[in-house]
Each structure stands twice: as structure tokens, then as C-alpha cells.
Amino acid sequence: MQGVDREELGAVVRIAAAVAGVPTASLNVLDDRRQVQLVTVGFPPRDCDRADAMCGVRLHTGHPVLVRDARLDPDYRDNPWVTGELGQIRFYANTPLITPEGSVYGTLCVFDTEPHELTDAQMDRLRDLAGVIDAFFEGRRQSRAVAEFTDATEARKKWAEALLDGINVAVIAVDTEFRPIFCNQAFRDSHDPDLDLTAAPVRIAERFQIYEPDGQTPIADQETPMIMAMNGHGPVTGREMMLRGTRNGAAVVRANARALYGADGAITGGMVALHDITAEAARKRLVEEARSRLAAANAELRRSNTDLTNFAAGVSHDLVAPLAAVGGYLELLAEEVTEPAAGHVAAAGRAVEEMRDVIRSLLSAARSDPA
């Protein structure tokens, strides 16, 4: 594969890793005998037999694959890329690469040595990127006959623009002087068109109005994901922030950032992908508020039950004492009277006992645990 092709496809694979929030990703092509890793991110390419390839296990289905922990999946747990013979992969996901005729020829896959999870939105973005790769290879077959692709520089520019504008994730990449290398349509749509992207790399958090998820606590420039990645702190994944300067008002985003490297291994820039999770954050806030209200209601119920128990104990004492006196007098009266008055006294005594049973039942009910 030519150097230009590897550079362009490498951009797709790097974006796939950033979207998934993992350090490693690859673009693979498979035939009946082997798997070839055309482009890799985070590790050197390593070809293997088709029988050993994780991408070949479910390739025939033509559907995306998501394995949160390969050690727990019977289709993958004995694979040499999982057992340690070739690698120690735990999280694994891929989207198939398919020709216009419907033939599956490879995968765009992301993976990690730790268990991981992807949202439906992240899987959708990986499918978008796989579609871009499919379009690239199809365009490559046809581009030789198209005049606009005779200029390699212009072709690379148009292809990069199509790649970035085709995904619903805000992406921007800059060089070491923080001059934009590219930014996609989603990024342009979400930010003020008058925002100066070429300004010096100072007051970045202030210019882009970047805050902690609470929307009140400013984030220091050195703690923004892209600067952290470019300062050698490794890929930054899952960093939640609030952007208060978007066109649609405040937005909660999850940022994945990584440094860009040249052929000599030196950092040449940085890239950040911003997933809008405003709706997800709102749902989490509503759940937390509901839990807080439920806890307060339970506390109030416990307090009310305590008050009820104390009230029942006091009332029962105030009723039982005079009722005992009435019972005592009735017992004395029963020894002095004759029929038919004795029958009336006995009836009154039974009524006193029934009243005592009622008081005991009320007190028992008040003391019982409502749970």
C-alpha cells in the first residue's frame, strides 16, 4: 500500500480508536488463508493465519461484533489473541468492511487489554467509519479514471473532508502550534463560526467555554483533554465536560483525545473527538434527583412511624390505667349484687376485656415494622 493511502486510512483508524476510547485499533483484510493488518494504531502490524484471526470468527455474518470481555465469550476465549499466545485481548469490537456487491473482505476493529463497553452511539460511529473505508476502496478503484483524483494532494484533501463530514461526532486535529489541521462539519456546526481557531494556545478553556459537568467550575487549560494528550499523558478517554459556548447552548460532552505522532515517534499534534451526551446527562440527573426524593420520603416515613409508635404507647397507657380501675370496681361490685344486677356487672366486665384487647391490637400495629 502506498504511503499516501496509509496516511489517509491511518486517520480513520485513529478516529475509530478515539471514538471507542481505547488505545488500539486496526484495519484488517482477510482471505481464505490469512489476515493482513493494513493499518494499526497503538501497536505494530502483525499478520496471522485466518484460523487464528478474531476478526474471522463471525465475519461470515456480515454484522458488527461487540465482545466486552473475550475471556467470557465461548467463541473467543480460546483464541490465541486472547490466551496470550499472540496477545491478551479482552475487549474487542469490529464492523465488517463490505464491497458494493455485498462481499465481506475485512474489518475495522478496536480492542483493549481490559474489559470495556461501547454505547449504541459509539457502535453507530464505528459503522460510519467502516462505510468511509468502503467508500475509499471503491473510490480508489474508480479514481484512476476521474480527473479530479489525478492530483494526489487534492484527492487527499477531498477524501479527508468527506471522511470527517460523514460522522456525527465533533472532531478537530491540530499541529504542535495548535493550528487546525482539520475539523469536521459536526465541529463547525457546534461552535460559534466567529471563533478564532488559529489563536495562540492560551486561554483555551475560556475561549471555548469549557467547564466541569456542573457547568460552573472552569477547567484549566492544562487539564483540557487535547493538551493533556499532547503533553504525553497518554490517550484521554471518557472525560466529561460542559461546553457553554455551542450554537445550541450548553452541551455536556464526553471527550476522547490522543496525540498524533510522526514517523520518528515524535508528537506532531493532537486530536479530540467530542460525543454530545447532553440527553444522557439529563437522564442521569433525573435519576439522581428521583433517588434523592425517594430517600427523603423514606426518612420522613420512618420519622412518622416513630411518632406514631410513641403516640400509641402514650395513648394506650392513658386508656389502660382508667380501664383497669373500672375492671377492679366491677369485680368488687360483682361480689355485692344479686341477679339480675350480677348479669349486668358480668357483661360490663366482658366489655372491659374487649376494650383491653382492642388497645393491645392498636399498640401492636403501631409498633410493627412497615417494611
Q: What is the DSSP letter of 220?
A: P
Q: What is the pLDDT of residue 203?
A: 78
Alpha carbon separation from 336 to 210, 285, 339 (Å, rounded): 94, 76, 10
Q: What is the pLDDT of residue 41?
A: 93
* pTM for the whole structure: 0.50
Inter-residue long-range contacts of 181-189, CB under 8 Å, 24+ positions, other chains counted:
181/269, 187/274, 189/247
For 3-163, CATH number? 3.30.450.40
For 169-276, CATH number? 3.30.450.20
Q: What is the pLDDT of residue 365?
A: 67
Q: Which amino acid is at 343?
A: G
Phi, psi of 170 (to 5 degrees): -70, 120
Q: What is the pLDDT of residue 281?
A: 63
**Fold held by 298-367:** Helix Hairpins (1.10.287)
Q: What is the pLDDT of residue 92?
A: 97
Determine contact, residues 176/268, Cβ cutoff 8 Å. Answer: yes
Q: Where are the beta strands (DSSP E) in 14-90?
A: 24-30, 34-41, 48-49, 65-67
The yes-or-no answer to whether 3-163 and 298-367 have a common fold is no
- Average pLDDT per consecutive 10 residues, the chain (371 residues; last block may be shorter): 69 93 94 92 92 92 94 95 94 94 92 94 93 85 54 59 70 84 78 69 78 88 88 87 78 89 86 82 73 82 76 67 72 72 76 78 64 45
CA dist., res. 42 & res. 45, Å (int): 9
Q: What is the pLDDT of residue 149?
A: 43
Name the residue ranges covered by the structural domains of the chain: 3-163, 169-276, 298-367
Please name the residue ranges forming H helices in 180-254.
185-190, 204-207, 225-230
Question: Residue 153 is inside which H or E element, if any?
Answer: helix 152-165
Closest CA to 112 of 147, 174, 66: 66
Q: What is the pLDDT of residue 19?
A: 94
CA dist., res. 70 & res. 111, Å (int): 10
Q: Distance between the two ends of the chain, CA-based, in angstroms?
A: 69
Question: Residue 269 is inside which H or E element, if any?
Answer: strand 267-276
